[in-house]
Amino acid sequence: MKNIILILTLIVSHICFAQVTDNAMLYRKDFKNLTAKNTVSVTSYEKNGKHYVYTGGAGNVDVFSLNKDGALTTVSSHKLYKEKGPGRGLVADNINGTDFLFVGNKHGDAVEVFKILDNGSLEQVFMVKDSDAVHLKTVITLQVVHMKKASYLFVGGLEREDPGLTCFKIHDDGKLTLVQSMKDNDKIHTDGIIGMFTHKIKGKTYLYTGGFQDNGVSSFRVYENGKFKNVNNISDNTTDRYLTGAYPVTGVTFGNNKYVVVGHRHHKYYDYAPNFIKNKDFKYHGDGVSVFKINSKGALVPHFVLKDDENSKLQGQTRIEIVSVNDNEAILAVGTRDDASIQLLKLNKDGVLSPTNYLETGFSIYYGLKSHKIGDDNFLLAGSNRFDFGKLVSYKLGPKINRENKVIKHIVHLKYKEDATEAQVNEAVNAFVDLKNKIPTVASFEWGLNDSTEGHTKGLTHTFVITFKDEHAREVYLFHEAHLALLNNYAQFFADALVMDYWTKEN
């Protein structure tokens, strides 16, 4: 009987996973303010049954707890070396019984190591700075690699003058000692490493890197002592690869099939900073996500490309996260800077990608995206590089809800402070009303003064009613520059607020 129940449970679980995979959607659960100026990187970690989120921004690393409902609670904030950063390539891991957070300090040209304390907060234990022996200038990407008897930290970055790939041995106390630093050359793609991933094949470990400046991906064999050597390299072309500005790198395993998934933020998106791109001889032929199959020798083999079109949001990919995976397929989330969205994709066991749904977040994502699992629930944590944003946002993955022929009513009730002058209140009200002219996703807008005499207004005096056609429109409004500016400039005059949303049939 127990075996029958187990089999039925597995069948039901598989059906539910397939349904969610084919029709998955993201739903915002919470957001919290940061002490850092922005959110460039995000990672997460489970310690003693509790779940923590770490965000790296300009000047600080912020720590939050995350509960099973996706609610965020501020824990602590920690200054980076020289108060620079931003913290990039955050990686949390356990090294021989001790939990550490490894942080790449981009403009501090250093790697900082923090011990994760019992309450999730941090204590710095070590730091290694750039020198002639290592390639740590403009540190961006970190990858922990566990071998049988030791663990290693691989480091990549955007150093323009002397780029490369560096490996440190991680000691039990968090200290790092140099193992090998390989200088970039015309063959390998380690000039501007913004993504790394590892696969193990028949007991051997392989590392895969994306080269932002040299437009390609490379594979390396990693040995037990932390030394590494190049295996093969794949360059961009203008026919069936999309590697100009190779950016996020991740991977999935289905039985014996191993894949590496690579995205790119094409160099054309850096028109505002053309001197940032070394090789300006590139051709824009669209955006896409590339899938490489890994052969028995750990080499990358071009396998499949999902091209961006009018039904997907893949322009300016900066992060690809594996949200969930079973024996047959996986859900991937792609964070985009230029489309300002999170695109959900399905990868099947044959290595074929297909888009499912996307959520327009209303903010650009710049490496700051991390998947996290609590029980059976899958979450995404996201932030933005925007300096006016300064928030961490949590989303939960679930089946898409049918909202056909429905719209969202966003109701805001406000009470202004008694010491706010009439001119200040009028200015704040006019700024709120003007949002309908500044935010294109506002379908309709109305407002008025309270006229109820029933005695249940709780002192609230002004009501604003905004209509949105879908979730995308609401997200764009919530995190729009004009809306954030309204809060920054006029929240000082608010005494109280009540905000409620509901779905109703479209008129």
pLDDT tens readout for residues 413-422 = 999 999 999 9
**How many CA atoms are closer than 13 Å to the CA of 340, on its beta-carbon side?**
15
Q: Which of 402, 365, 357, 360 has the alpha carbon at shortest distance from 383?
A: 365
Query: What is the token pair recorded at 299?
Result: 């080499």
Q: Which of 265, 322, 269, 258 has the alpha carbon at shortest distance from 288?
A: 265
CB contact set of 64 (below 8 Å; sequence gap of 6+): 32, 52, 53, 55, 72, 73, 74, 75, 392
130, 161, 178: which is the final residue of a domain?
A: 178
User: pLDDT digit string (tens) for 79-92?
Assistant: 999 998 899 989 99
User: Does residue 214 form part of some domain?
Assistant: no
User: Does residue 94 form part of some domain?
Assistant: yes
Say whether pLDDT at 7 is over 60.
no
Q: What is the DSSP string of 389-457?
A: T-EEEEEEEEEPP--TTEEEEEEEEEEE-TTS-HHHHHHHHHHHHTHHHH-TT--EEEEEE----SS-S
User: pLDDT digit string (tens) for 224-274?
Assistant: 999 999 999 999 998 889 999 999 999 999 999 999 999 999 999 998 887
CB count, 10 Å around CB of 136?
Answer: 24
Whether the Cβ atoms of residue 345 and residue 353 lie closer than 8 Å to each other: yes
Q: Which of 444, 422, 437, 449 has the alpha carbon at shortest distance from 483?
A: 437
Say whether pLDDT at 3 is over 60.
no
At residue 5, the pLDDT reads 47
Q: Which of 487, 372, 366, 485 has the alpha carbon at shortest distance from 39?
A: 366
pTM, full prediction: 0.94
Continuous segment of H or E residues that includes residue 234: strand 228-235
User: pLDDT digit string (tens) for 249-261?
Assistant: 999 999 999 999 9
Determine the Cα–Cα distance for residues 432 and 478; give it in Å rounded to an integer. Answer: 13
At residue 10, the pLDDT reads 44
At residue 280, the pLDDT reads 87
3-state secondary structure of 82: helix
The CATH number for 489's domain is 3.30.70.100
Tell me what the mean pLDDT of segment 421-444 comes to: 97
Whether the Cβ atoms of residue 317 and residue 334 lie closer than 8 Å to each other: yes
Query: What is the token pair recorded at 75?
Result: 């824990």
Confidence band (pLDDT; 50, 70, 90) for 147?
very high
User: pLDDT digit string (tens) for 312-342?
Assistant: 999 999 999 999 999 999 999 999 999 999 9
User: Does residue 391 form part of some domain?
Assistant: no
Percent of the chain whose pLDDT exceeds 70: 96
178, 213, 230: which is the final residue of a domain?
A: 178
Determine the Cα–Cα distance for residues 400 and 237; give it in Å rounded to an integer. Answer: 37
131, 163, 178: which is the final residue of a domain?
A: 178
The CATH number for 98's domain is 2.115.10.20
Q: How many domains does the chain contain in total?
A: 2
At residue 58, the pLDDT reads 93
User: Does residue 428 form part of some domain?
Assistant: yes
Say whether pLDDT at 11 is over 50.
no
User: pLDDT digit string (tens) for 150-194?
Assistant: 999 999 988 878 899 999 999 999 999 999 999 999 999 999 999
User: Does residue 359 form part of some domain?
Assistant: no
* Average pLDDT over all residues of the chain: 94
Beta-sheet strands, E only, within 311-420: 317-325, 329-336, 341-348, 353-360, 369-374, 377-383, 391-399, 406-416
At residue 271, the pLDDT reads 85
User: Does residue 87 form part of some domain?
Assistant: yes
CA torsion 137→139→144→145, rounded to 10°?
A: -50
Q: 63 lies in which domain range?
A: 40-178
User: Does residue 362 form part of some domain?
Assistant: no
User: Does residue 189 form part of some domain?
Assistant: no
Identity of the amino acid at 360: E
